[in-house]
Amino acid sequence: MATVAPEQAAKPATKPATMAQALGRALRDAMAEDPSVHVLGEDVGTLGGVFRITDGLAKEFGDDRCTDTPLAEAGILGAAVGMAMYGLRPVVEMQFDAFGYPAFEQLVSHVAKMRNRTRGTMPLPITIRIPYGGGIGGVEHHSDSSEAYYMATPGLTVVTPATVADAYGLLRQSIASDDPVVFLEPKRLYWSKDTWNPESPATVEPIGTAVVRRPGTSATLITYGPSLTVCLEAAEAARAEGWDLEVVDLRSLVPFDDATVAASVRRTGRAVVVHESHGFGGPGGEIAARITERCFHHLEAPVLRVAGLDIPYPPPMLERHHLPGVDRVLDAVARLQWDQ
Amino acid sequence: MTVMEQRSTRRTGRTAPPPAWQPRTDPAPLLPDAEPYRVLGTDAAAKADPELLRRLYAEVVRGRRYNAQATALTKQGRLAVYPSTTGQEAAEVAAALALEERDWLFPSYRDTLAAVARGLDPVQALTLLRGDWHTGYDPHEHRVAPLSTPLATQLPHAVGLAHAARLKGDDVVALAMVGDGGTSEGDFHEALNFAAVWQAPVVFLVQNNGYAISVPLAKQTAAPSLAHKAVGYGMPGRLVDGNDAVAMHEVLTEAVTHAREGGGPTLIEAVTYRMDAHTNADDATRYRTDDEVEAWRDHDPVLLLERVLTERGLIDEAGMQAVRDDAETMAAALRERMNADPVLDPMDLFTHVYAEQTSQLREQAEQLRAELEAEAEASEGGR
């Protein structure tokens, strides 16, 4: 499971592409390779999705493979459950983070549990694509970071790419996975460009593998999705203050790569978890606890969290105060010197 | 000037009328009849196929005995809970018999009997209610989806499966069962809407047994009947006497055939009555009267079949006794098997969460294994 065909690795040609293009390409390639892959959701057909991720799929594969559904998220995901029961691999689009909430019961009560309820006889290979997070000036209900809800549900795999190559590789792996995957797309990175070889996906490690994006020695920033660029920028800025920061991109929140994270923190002795989801009850608390359990004797300072504020997602004109930026990360790094 | 006049003035200014939404069909054929469809007790009963009558009778009597046995097992502590379908056996059995082997059944938590009538091992069908696992069978084996505890959430699954089957070119039909209370859930609406838009080969069977636990239908809906809801989705609605096994079988078979032949979904409301309480944990005397329950006894599905079989000379007392004996044998076997304690492996808790265990689950599995070993050692030492 969860691997990309090896013959793809041979082909060259590296070019710049956006994350949105890589996601579209991943869907197209998966559909071309496997006739059981079906895309469904609101506006995914003729319009190509509000973010154009599914652009061209209905034209190339037909309405039966890329289907505009009625506007009903529980119905979309519920129908996908039945389709998966009959041997298809549905890829569902939830359009915006908060639009996925009406489908929550299907997700929690059925999608996450079907393998378990049926003792493994009825696994559900469903990929649920959810554009998430803020920073694009969206109004209410268009900018939530809802990963903590999904992480809290056993049975779901939760991944989020932060690079163009990962967007392609992780989505291919998610579709190939025999388990349901919540695939969180950081929408503020949709238009970020990267050099990427579309014929040779960079992500060949299995889902659940974190990656060190920037090696360093004096502290580890642990992050994912939209906050990776913030952390890399903060690491550059911190050099002037004598900090050599390591940046770990989790890529997968469930399963969680305890080994990579613990190895990094043991090397550096200090850790800050950075994400734009809320702090209280958010992903950072779980991650900080896991680090403390595994690395207590290596820690020079408490594990800190830099998160979004514990507020409902703010209106767009105020969202910059909510989203953790470089300065907030640097402030936390400064606080790692608490004993001096 | 009235509002209507203002509107008409504005309209006259247009060179061409805007494209108007058109209903896709004349709604009249979609509407259910005012009275539930019946065969038993009418002239049509004289023409009912003798073989079908005998078969339905045997199944309904077995169903009645099964309900009684399962209810007794809750009193003995062998089942955590059993939502009885005593009084509803005709609808349960017809649901199973209307399907071909390749079709799929999507039962709610109350529909164990339909699953058993479809051929499921009765003990495996009761696993959920005994409490040793959530689903005791492989759904693919008899094409019975797991008994759904959340209300109406399995209906969109039926739509998706039927849709997928049709895309693959298979003439498979999905029959989805729900209670009257379940029709108030959002998933009921979404499933019916999807099914009608996609023209999916699905049959929705609502068993209106009068109460959603304690809430009567009058507090559940303001619709003339639950079958009337169909017209809003653009599918036919049928109202049937749920205690009339022959009528149920006929209407369900028609709807299944209609779906198989590409005619799309049907919504069927079976009007029936739950003779027992919601479950053994429920006190039905708090919300309904004995008189009301008594009034339904004369319309019992077993009685209705016995009447027609006897009147038509298709069965005698010995024949009925043979059917009862057969049901008794089934109940005795069920009792005996249910009295054996299930063998459980706690390590199974970690086996079926993901295709591959996460490192987090592997750690927890090791911890539980150590706890189990310590427990075993302690009980050895205690001897």
Length reported for chain B: 383
Both tokens of residue A218? 């004096």
Among A69, A81, A106, most B C-beta atoms within 10 A, so best to mutate, is A81
pLDDT given for residue A204 in this prediction? 72
**CB proximity list for B199: less than 8 A, separation 6 or greater:** B262, B263, B264, B265
ipTM of the complex: 0.92
Q: How far apart are CA A164 and CA A22, in angstroms?
A: 6
Residue B12 has pLDDT above 60, yes or no: no
A97-111 residues labelled b (16+ CB within 10 A) or e (exposed): bbbbbbbbbbbbbbb
How far from the centroid of its chain's Cα atoms is residue B93's Cα? 10
CB contact under 8 A, B153 and A1: no
Amino acid identity for residue A327 in this structure: D
Cα dihedral sign for B288, B291, B297, B301? negative
| Beta carbons of A177 and B150 less than 8 Å apart | no
What confidence score (pLDDT) does residue B26 get? 83
Q: What does the pLDDT read at residue B18? A: 63
Render pLDDT for A203-247 as a digit per residue (tens, 0 to 9).
678 999 999 999 999 999 999 999 999 999 999 999 999 999 999
pLDDT in tens, B28-56: 899 999 999 999 999 999 999 999 999 99
Would you say B124 and B136 are in contact if contact means Cβ atoms under 8 Å apart? yes
Local mean pLDDT, 10-residue blocks, chain A (340 residues): 42 77 96 98 95 96 97 98 98 94 97 97 98 94 95 98 94 97 97 79 83 97 97 97 97 98 98 97 98 97 97 96 97 83
d(CA A115, nearest CA chain B) in Å: 6
Q: Is the pLDDT of residue B212 over 60?
A: yes
Cβ–Cβ under 8 Å, residues B144 and B150:
no
A83 and B156 in contact by Cβ < 8 A? no
Q: Which of residues 344-383 of B touch A (CB under 8 A)?
A: 348, 351-356, 358-360
Q: Is the pLDDT of residue B266 over 80?
A: yes
CB count within 10 Å of CB A47 equals: 13
Please, which residues 160-179 of chain B have a Cβ atom closer than 8 Å to chain A?
A: 160-165, 167-168, 172, 174
For B24-63, give the DSSP string.
Answer: SS-SGGGSPPSS-B--TTSGGGGGS-HHHHHHHHHHHHHH
CA distance A248 to chain B (A): 19
**Beta-carbon neighbour count of residue B92 at 10 Å?**
34
- Give the integer Cα–Cα distance in Å for A76 and A111: 12
Say what angle helices B50-75 and B245-260 make with each other, to 10 degrees.
Answer: 100
Burial A233-271 (b: 16+ CB within 10 A, else e): ebbebbeeeebebbbbbbbbbbbbbbebbbbbbebbbbb
Residue B184 has φ and ψ, to the nearest 5°, of -85, -10
- Count of C-beta atoms within a 10 Å radius of residue A18: 17
pLDDT digits (tens, 9 = 90+) for A291-330: 999 999 999 999 999 999 999 999 999 999 999 999 999 9
Q: Which amino acid is at A15?
A: K
Q: Which residues of A touch B162 (CB under 8 A)?
A: 82
pLDDT tens string B77-98: 999 999 999 999 999 999 999 9
Cβ distance A81 to B163 less than 8 Å, yes or no, reads no
Dist. CA A237–CA A256, nearest whole Å: 28
Q: Which of residues 311-350 of B touch A (CB under 8 A)?
A: 348
Q: Which residues of B are less than 8 Å from A255 in CB distance?
A: 354, 358-360
B317 C-beta neighbours (distance < 10 Å), count: 8
Select from A192, A199, A265 the least CA-distant residue to A225.
Answer: A192
Residue A316: cis peptide before it, omega within 30 degrees of 0: no
- B274 assigned to active site: yes
Q: Which one-letter amino acid corresponds to residue B354? A: Y
Q: Which residues of B touch A72 (CB under 8 A)?
A: 190, 193-194
- CATH fold of B28-338 reads Rossmann fold (3.40.50)
CB A82 within 8 A of CB B163: yes
Average per-residue pLDDT for chain B: 93
Report the C-alpha gap between A30 and A172 in whole angstroms.
Answer: 7
CA distance A198 to B52: 63
Taking the Cβ of residue A3 and every Cβ of chain B, the question of whether any pair is shorter than 8 Å is answered with: no
Q: Measured between alpha carbons, how far is A4 from A22 in angstroms, rounded to an integer?
A: 15
Q: What is the pLDDT of residue A6?
A: 42
Is the alpha carbon torsion for B280, B285, B289, B291 positive or negative?
A: positive
Closest of B130, B129, B255 to residue B201, by C-alpha = B255
Q: What is the 3-state secondary structure (H, E, C) of B62-88?
A: HHHHHHHHHHHHHHCCCCCCCCCCCCC
Number of C-beta neighbours around residue B45 at 10 A:
20
The pLDDT value recorded for residue A338 is 61
B109 is catalytic: no
State how far the Cα of A23 lies from the Cα of B7, in Å rounded to an integer. 48
Are A153 and A105 contacting, i.e. CB atoms less than 8 angstroms apart? Answer: no
- Condensed to tens digits (0 to 9), the pLDDT of residues B112-168 reads 999 999 999 999 999 999 999 999 999 999 999 999 999 999 999 999 999 999 999
- If phi > 0 it is left, if psi is from -120 to 50 it is alpha, else beta; for residue A269 that is left
How far apart, in whole angstroms, are the C-alpha atoms of residue B92 and residue B209? 12
Which residues are registered as beta bridge partners of A221? A247, A272
d(CA A194, CA A182): 24
Residue B382's pLDDT is: 61
Chain A hits for B347, CB-CB cut-off 8 Å, are: none
| pLDDT at residue B19, as a whole number | 67
Report pTM. 0.93
For chain A, domains (ranges, CATH) are 16-196 (3.40.50.970), 211-334 (3.40.50.920)
pLDDT given at position B383: 55
Q: Which of residues 122-181 of A touch B (CB under 8 A)?
A: 122-123, 154-155, 157, 177-179
The rounded distance, in Å, linking the Cα atoms of B234 and B152 is: 19
